[in-house]
């Protein structure tokens, strides 16, 4: 596996891959890798000849008071995991490289970024789309793979690629969960033993909403109330949002169309997000 820390090294490699007629799939990450990230690398390998995984804790997607400085990092172990999961190139740029002095250009998707995490974390998606757009220009992938755990992010990136006429297929990978249902997340590392147990309320809420949906419930307010119940009963959990929206547009849902139950919940220190699509699977 190549490990590139420099933009020019990456570009040289990309040019030689293009000359050899090899296609490239990109998996952007912030590191501290777990099975969720690695599943995306394996999916990426089924779509292209070479897989590039980036590790970059992107400062512009963190707000003031968020966990940019304490975000967990373990570069040595990350590189071993990427190499073991079929990644050909790891790209680890610095913030100075990605944001040259005096930069004043951003990429912003409107509409889709208004609800959910866009409402609770102002500027977050602008940081995400800006850095992903830069990574797309540097890596020039034919395919980019994002986890459906960050469901709104997946929709926003797909919209950006379409709106900006990028010739990149944005593929979604299923949410990887621990056996008790908790979605894997680098931020789970912040949880105490007690907090880790409490964190299962997110999945329990989603699973309860899914059961209600399977039982014929289609009223978004009722589905939301079912999802909220176990979370409100857990003293260590504090709801940021729990919403039921149209799975495609994130607008008001209607009973005939797939819905997404999306949530952000603080459990002790970390803010955890999770979601479940009801009515259809949305993978790409």
Active site residues: 37
**Of 247, 248, 252, residue with least CA distance to 276:** 247
Residues 135, 162: Cα–Cα separation, whole Å: 16
Q: Segment contacting ligand AMP (CB under 6 A): 100-108, 112-120, 179-187, 211-219?
A: 179-187
Q: Where are the beta strands (DSSP E) in the chain?
A: 2-4, 24-29, 50-55, 89-91, 143-147, 169-173, 237-246, 259-267, 271-278
Residues 196, 179: Cα–Cα separation, whole Å: 13
Provide, rounded to whole angstroms, the least separation between the CB of residue 29 and ligand AMP.
Answer: 4
By CB neighbour count within 10 A (0-12 exposed, 13-18 middle, 19+ buried), where does 129 fall? buried
- Contact assessment for residue 161 and residue 170, using Cβ atoms and an 8 Å cutoff: yes
Q: Binding residue for ligand AMP (CB under 6 A) from 4, 10, 17, 37?
A: 37
Is 88 a binding residue for ligand AMP by CB under 6 A? The answer is: no
Residues 262, 275: Cα–Cα separation, whole Å: 4
Is 147 a binding residue for ligand AMP by CB under 6 A? The answer is: yes
Is 130 a binding residue for ligand AMP by CB under 6 A? The answer is: no
Is 188 a binding residue for ligand AMP by CB under 6 A? The answer is: no
Residues 42, 27: Cα–Cα separation, whole Å: 10
Q: Which residues pair with 171 in a beta bridge?
A: 145
Residues 187, 177: Cα–Cα separation, whole Å: 14
Looking at residue 183, the DSSP 8-state letter turns out to be B
Provide, rounded to whole angstroms, the least separation between the CB of residue 13 and ligand AMP.
Answer: 22
Q: Binding residue for ligand AMP (CB under 6 A) from 152, 186, 188, 275?
A: 186
Provide, rounded to whole angstroms, the least separation between the CB of residue 150 and ligand AMP.
Answer: 4
Q: Segment contacting ligand AMP (CB under 6 A): 13-21, 142-150, 216-224, 228-236?
A: 142-150
Is 175 a binding residue for ligand AMP by CB under 6 A? The answer is: yes
Q: Binding residue for ligand AMP (CB under 6 A) from 25, 30, 131, 265?
A: 30
Q: How far is CA 272 from the centre of its chain?
A: 12
Provide, rounded to whole angstroms, the least separation between the CB of residue 189 and ligand AMP.
Answer: 12
Is 40 a binding residue for ligand AMP by CB under 6 A? The answer is: yes
How many residues in the shown chain lie near ligand AMP by CB under 6 A? 17
Is 150 a binding residue for ligand AMP by CB under 6 A? The answer is: yes
Provide, rounded to whole angstroms, the least separation between the CB of residue 159 and ligand AMP.
Answer: 15
Residues 6+ apart with CB under 8 A from 112: 118, 152, 155, 156, 159, 249, 250
**Of 186, 174, 275, residue with least CA distance to 223:** 275
Is 185 a binding residue for ligand AMP by CB under 6 A? The answer is: yes
Three-state DSSP state, 70: coil
Provide, rounded to whole angstroms, the least separation between the CB of residue 147 and ligand AMP.
Answer: 2
Residue nearest to ligand AMP (CB): 147
Residues 86, 221: Cα–Cα separation, whole Å: 44
Q: Which is nearer to ligand AMP, 146 or 203 (CB)?
A: 146
Is 93 a binding residue for ligand AMP by CB under 6 A? The answer is: no
Q: Binding residue for ligand AMP (CB under 6 A) from 13, 56, 62, 146?
A: 146
Give residues in contact with ligand AMP (CB under 6 A): 29-30, 36-37, 39-40, 146-147, 149-150, 173, 175-176, 183-186
């Amino acid at each position: 596996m190549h490990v590139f820390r420099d933009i020019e090294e990456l570009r040289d490699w990309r040019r030689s891959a293009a000359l050899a007629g090899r296609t490239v799939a990109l998996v952007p990450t912030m590191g501290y890798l777990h099975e969720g990230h690695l599943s995306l690398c394996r999916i990426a390998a089924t779509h292209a000849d070479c897989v590039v995984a980036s590790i970059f804790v992107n400062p512009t997607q963190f707000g003031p008071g968020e966990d940019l400085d304490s975000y967990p990092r373990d570069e040595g172990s990350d590189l071993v995991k990427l190499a073991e999961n079929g990644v050909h190139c790891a790209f680890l740029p610095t913030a100075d490289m990605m944001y040259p002095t005096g930069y004043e250009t951003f990429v912003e998707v409107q509409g889709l970024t208004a609800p959910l995490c866009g409402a609770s974390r102002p500027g977050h998606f602008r940081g995400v789309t800006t850095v992903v757009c830069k990574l797309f220009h540097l890596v020039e992938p034919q395919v980019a793979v994002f986890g459906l755990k960050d469901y709104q992010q997946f929709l926003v990136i797909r919209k950006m690629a379409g709106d900006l006429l990028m010739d990149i297929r944005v593929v979604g990978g299923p949410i990887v969960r621990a056996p008790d249902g908790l979605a894997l997340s680098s931020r789970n590392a912040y949880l105490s033993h007690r907090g880790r147990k409490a964190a299962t309320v997110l999945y329990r809420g989603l699973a309860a909403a899914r059961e209600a949906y399977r039982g014929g419930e289609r009223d978004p307010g009722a589905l939301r109330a079912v999802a909220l119940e176990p979370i409100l009963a857990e003293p260590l959990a504090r709801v940021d949002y729990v919403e039921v929206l149209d799975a495609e547009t994130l607008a008001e849902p209607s009973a005939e169309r797939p819905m997404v139950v999306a949530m952000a919940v603080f459990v002790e220190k970390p803010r955890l997000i999770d979601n479940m699509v009801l009515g259809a699977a949305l993978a790409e």
